[in-house]
Amino acid sequence: MFKKSQRLSRPQFTTFFKQGVRFQAPELTLIYNANTPLSVSVVVGKKVFKNAVDRNRLRRRIYAGCKRYFDANKVVLGSYIIITKPLAIRLTRLATITATEQILARIGNSR
């Protein structure tokens, strides 16, 4: 999990949501803004999972994938918003982390 200072507040979320560059995958959408301090937000809607327990579990797995990717690649800049899609239901624990790392890697490929 990230520190509270590394998570987006509501005003920041709204700003970056409108301005960001979007990357699509079947299970996830990534909205990215460069040149800002590292901040991350994960959104899991009720269309994905009805129960809060399941939504929180998926959110924690995505945060774990982000943390693992950022530590491995020494990422210190950027605002990242990850939004799940209904196909995220079929992801296992390892597949969730892998899908997260793959969509984050697409940012590096697009530069």
Cβ contact 56:100 at 8 Å: no
CA distance 48 to 97: 17
CB 55 within 8 A of CB 46: yes
**Whole-prediction pTM value?**
0.91
- Which domains are present in the chain? 4-110 (3.30.230.10)
DSSP helix/strand/coil, 37: strand
Using one digit for the tens of pLDDT, what is the confidence trace for 13-68? 899 989 999 999 999 999 999 988 999 999 999 999 999 999 999 999 999 999 99
